[in-house]
Structure 1
Amino acid sequence: MQYFSTSALKQFEMFKIAAVGLLIISSNILSSGYKFPDGFMFGASTAAYQIEGGWNEDGKGVNIWDHLTHLRPELIRDHSNGDVACDSYHKYKEDVALAKDLNLQFYRFSISWSRIAPSGEVHKLNPEGIAYYNRLIDELIANDIVPLVTMYHWDIPQYLQDLGGWVNPIMSDYFKEYARVLFSYYGDRVKWWITFNEPMETSKAYSFNGYAPYLHLNNTGYYLAGHTQLIAHSKVYHLYNDEFKDKQQGKISLSLNGVFFIPKDEQSQDDINTAERANQFERGWFSHPVYKGDYPPVMRQWVDKKSKKEGRPWSTLPTFTKKEIELLKGTADFYALNHYSTRMVTHGSDPNPNYNPDAEYATFVDKSWPTSVASWLIVVPEGLKRLLVWIKNEYDNPPVIITENGFADNGTLNDFERISYVKSHLNATLQAIFEDKCNVFGYTVWSLLDNFEWMDGYAYHFGLVHVDFNNPLTPRTLKASYQFFKNVVATHRLDDSSFTTQSPEL
């Protein structure tokens, strides 16, 4: 297995010089004396379609990304797909070895629904697909790595999408039965479950041609898809509690993402109110029903008002029944948070379809904030600290695990910008823990490997490990950030000892 390329080793003298500069630059952001608490968990995250490949092997069915990338390759920035990706379907042992060498406490991966049940219907299971995840889970446990499993990471089987996908309420029952299969086959070893990864992003795929299935149903599709996912999550949570938890003793949540919004003018009450409204539309949409029951009042008020103004006979935001509210409340054993960036807001409208027009806010960035090759990923570590405090105050300080946080670049091995990003966000996490008493118990970097980045194909790289997608053998090569993160995990600190200028070795 190739871990560090010859060319990278030749560059390492330059790397050491640059690293010294990086440490000097970053020293002013460190929280001196802080150390991650005993028991704090470090992990890395991946997703099935983005790394597995083997798209039609061993009985796997077609999912919405197989369908979209094959039928409309021009929609992907580089016309690529995940047919092979990192080839982790065949190279999972290499990936586990990389996680082991990082000393990770856990590895977050997702299960491909269409690999388990090709059409999504559980009366037609695929034994080969079930066996693959058994092998992966067993390999992780054999290497003392806890599996943290995501049931759904954006790759619904195409057959179920043809039935309407997440805007069809019956999908909540299909998902419940799929979850039953996962609990039955893997629950004896998997103790950490996430039902949905970023349900807001799943919903965007039904709103403005953002992701597969690439539909333009505006906010009607947006809210319907979110509503069905919330109902599905509650059904799975109660299924586990009623039938599996006594014996398996696991925990369940859903990973929620979103930009954190701060007032453009911190002294303006209108901007303060707008930022809060934006955060409720962005994050409260899924958090509020799970932690408090029902949608956030401000969301209900503003969407209902907009629907009435448009002359609609009913609101585009669906209504939960009293029973559904009761079933949803309390359906998270921990708060799973994906976070990458922050924006300033003021009252107005924003042309970016990623931002909900019903909430009436316009976004801005400070020119001093560092950028990345991904236009949406602006570096604002202070935003993560403020977000963790917001979650603490809003939901009575729940146990939080950061399930994604990472930086996009062009794939360089000497990825100092990624080191700076991860270091600054880990520092913000430490500040939230020690200065604000936020109950954060884990951090997951996105991602272990460079991978297929959805509509951007392979244009952006997020991995601690470089993957050569032009080589059919998809060799892995360690980046500088791999060694940095390895030392953070080993020391539980962010002082200079968390970064070494020695060549990475295994």
Structure 2
Amino acid sequence: MKINFDKSFWFGTSTSGPQSEGWKNKKNDNIMDTWFKERPEDFFDKIGPNIASNVYSQYDEDIQMMAKIKLNSFRTSIQWSRLINNFDTQEINIDAVKFYRDYFEQLRNKNITLMVNLYHFDMPQILQDRGGWENKEVVDLFVKYATKCFELFGDLVDYWATFNEPVVPAEAGYLYKWHYPFISDLKKAVQVGYNTILAHSKTVKVFHELFKNDLNKKISIILNLTPCYPKTNKEEDVKASHIVDLFFNKSFLDPVIKGKFPIDFVKLLKSENLLPECNRDELKIIRENIIDILAVNYYQPRRAKARDTQFSGPLMPEKWFETYNWPEARINPYRGWEIYPRTIYDIAKDIKDNYNNFPWFISENGMGVQGEEKFVKNGIINDQYRIDFIKEHLYWLNKAIADNSNCLGYQIWTFVDCWSWNNAYKNRYGLVYLDLETQKRIIKESGYWMKKMIENNNMFELTNEEVEKYESIK
């Protein structure tokens, strides 16, 4: 069976500034830098972001390799803590401007479509000390920073994003204590989520005002959609699953496309005295400023059931559901995440049916594996597992497009193995292997597979056995 994608389809990769650049010529810390400095033992092998993938010094080499693989799109982020020296006066870091302009210009010269994201979990520490996303003053400072970015780099960048996975700082930093600042308070988490959406909407407003005469300029937000499947079709399980979707998916998806929060979610928050501090003017800004294109990160689904036991302790979303471990789930043994490619089709169907077939693309999808060195063959990593992972996800994405989903592209996390929060370099995701001691880059088999597929007019073939296998997993 031939799997074909249109010639205009984006095939690329994504990364972020704080996970790839390193600290060279950076004047301010962000909260991830602080976390590493204060608690290096939280990170695998105590490896921090001080060097990361050394992209600050080796971006030209990476761009050459992207072109060699024939990738036509790429997403990274500007670091707020790198670009701005003084957050009150908006004094900029000249070295940062030179770096980003040359980085972006080289990508443009290779005809690689670039999306630049403005925030990737990297709140400047100085602003976190003022309350971070709990503080609406920080919301307005973010909009000023975003405006600077549009003015400084708007001639080089057509596609922008406000936030990567905005649910994560609320979820990981203010609910479950996975990330700095290690707070567990549902009411604060709701306010952080709301303020982030407000910052997003205000930024979208500025963007559309600045670029109103340039239809090539588009703005997005990157949401990690994790659709939730109920254990059974019983009413109580379906309701539990719906509440999971409200908290972790729809609370961000609805306002950025529909301009309003889900009614069920608002009612639930109100019943528990959890509504955020807001006003009519703010809600009007959210209502009137929607994105142009949606970016979706997909790794795994959620599964839930009605609670078997009575919830106790401080109020958390789990009051309304319990996680359900599906016995038939395929699990990535290195990452502990479920591998369920069919969900990409379900995401596409949801966007088509419930969001007026809004234009979107996959901005992250990938497989993290530990100890890839053991898969070396003929001097390169033979990551057939990653090729199989990509093929199966592309099968379901192609099926969705055949059913008229308005999907524009597919980007893999990541190009060169990059640093990640607690994980550091434990699990590698890249199409290109990174030697941490030498910073040498070596293309993996998956990178060569992508090159071959793209050169073959964005087409690859599946055996009947592979298709039957993909379709058999319900």
Encode CA deviations 1:119-147: one digit per residue, 9 max, x unaligned.
Answer: 44453211001110001001101111121
Deviation of residue 60 (structure 1)? 2.9
Secondary structure in 1 matching 2:34: helix
Cα distance in structure 1, aligned partners of 2:241 and 2:459 = 33
Task: Give 1:343's aligned residue.
Answer: 302
Residue identity over aligned pairs, in percent, reads 29
Query: TM-score under structure 1 normalisation?
Result: 0.84
Task: Give 2:343's aligned residue.
Answer: 383
Task: Give 1:51's aligned residue.
Answer: 20
Cα distance in structure 2, aligned partners of 1:122 and 1:426 = 47
Secondary structure in 1 matching 2:332: coil
CA shift in 2, pair 1:477/1:281, >3 Å: same
Check if 1:414 corresponds to 2:379: no
Encode CA deviations 1:301-352: one digit per residue, 9 max, x unaligned.
Answer: 22222x2xxxxxxx2231543332332134110111111001322112799x
Cα distance in structure 1, aligned partners of 2:25 and 2:416 = 24
Task: Give 1:291's aligned residue.
Answer: 257
Task: Give 1:503's aligned residue.
Answer: none
Of stretches 85-94 and 410-419 in structure 1, the one that deviates more from structure 2 is 410-419
Report if aligned partners of 1:65, 1:155 keep a CA contact under 8 Å in 2. Answer: yes
Matched residues, number: 450
Equivalent of residue 139 in structure 2, options 172, 175, 182: 172
Cα distance in structure 2, aligned partners of 1:83 and 1:448 = 19
Check if 1:300 corresponds to 2:266: yes
Deviation of residue 290 (structure 1)? 1.9
Report if aligned partners of 1:114, 1:156 keep a CA contact under 8 Å in 2. Answer: yes
Of stretches 206-215 and 105-114 in structure 1, the one that deviates more from structure 2 is 206-215
Secondary structure in 2 matching 1:454: coil
Cα distance in structure 2, aligned partners of 1:438 and 1:224 = 33
Cα distance in structure 2, aligned partners of 1:246 and 1:136 = 26
5+ residue gaps, structure 1: 1-31, 308-314, 498-506
Encode CA deviations 1:348-376: one digit per residue, 9 max, x unaligned.
Answer: 2799x9x9625612222333332224444
Cα distance in structure 1, aligned partners of 2:217 and 2:308 = 43
Task: Give 1:430's aligned residue.
Answer: 398
The equivalences for 1:31-70 within 5 A come to 32-53=1-22, 55=23, 57-70=24-37
Task: Give 2:129's aligned residue.
Answer: 162
Check if 1:195 corresponds to 2:154: no
Deviation of residue 154 (structure 1)? 1.0
Task: Give 1:401's aligned residue.
Answer: 361
Report if aligned partners of 2:3, 2:462 keep a CA contact under 8 Å in 1. Answer: no
Deviation of residue 487 (structure 1)? 2.2
Task: Give 1:136's aligned residue.
Answer: 103
Deviation of residue 168 (structure 1)? 0.8
Query: TM-score under structure 2 normalisation?
Result: 0.90
Encode CA deviations 1:241-300: one digit per residue, 9 max, x unaligned.
Answer: 1123325841111101132211212x4333333323322221111111122233211212
Secondary structure in 1 matching 2:45: coil
Deviation of residue 228 (structure 1)? 1.1
Task: Give 1:123's aligned residue.
Answer: 90
Check if 1:321 corresponds to 2:287: no
Report if aligned partners of 2:335, 2:369 keep a CA contact under 8 Å in 1. Answer: no
Secondary structure in 2 matching 1:196: strand
Secondary structure in 2 matching 1:91: helix
Across the aligned residues of Structure 1 and Structure 2, the Cα RMSD in angstroms comes to 2.2
Cα distance in structure 1, aligned partners of 2:385 and 2:316 = 30
Cα distance in structure 2, aligned partners of 1:183 and 1:345 = 41
Cα distance in structure 1, aligned partners of 2:25 and 2:81 = 11
Secondary structure in 2 matching 1:118: strand
Report if aligned partners of 1:154, 1:197 keep a CA contact under 8 Å in 2. Answer: yes
Task: Give 2:431's aligned residue.
Answer: 464
Report if aligned partners of 1:92, 1:136 keep a CA contact under 8 Å in 2. Answer: yes
Report if aligned partners of 2:2, 2:460 keep a CA contact under 8 Å in 1. Answer: no
Task: Give 1:206's aligned residue.
Answer: 173
| 2:189 alignment partner AA | Y
Cα distance in structure 2, aligned partners of 1:286 and 1:484 = 35
Cα distance in structure 1, aligned partners of 2:169 and 2:43 = 17
Equivalent of residue 268 in structure 1, options 224, 229, 234: 234
CA shift in 2, pair 1:263/1:120, >3 Å: same
Cα distance in structure 2, aligned partners of 1:440 and 1:254 = 15
Report if aligned partners of 1:208, 1:214 keep a CA contact under 8 Å in 2. Answer: no
Task: Give 1:311's aligned residue.
Answer: none
Report if aligned partners of 2:2, 2:462 keep a CA contact under 8 Å in 1. Answer: no
CA shift in 2, pair 1:376/1:225, >3 Å: farther
Equivalent of residue 322 in structure 2, options 342, 362, 376: 362
Of stretches 208-217 and 151-160 in structure 1, the one that deviates more from structure 2 is 208-217
Task: Give 1:486's aligned residue.
Answer: 451
Secondary structure in 2 matching 1:369: coil
Secondary structure in 1 matching 2:91: coil
Check if 1:440 corresponds to 2:407: yes
5+ residue gaps, structure 2: 373-380, 464-474
Report if aligned partners of 1:118, 1:157 keep a CA contact under 8 Å in 2. Answer: no
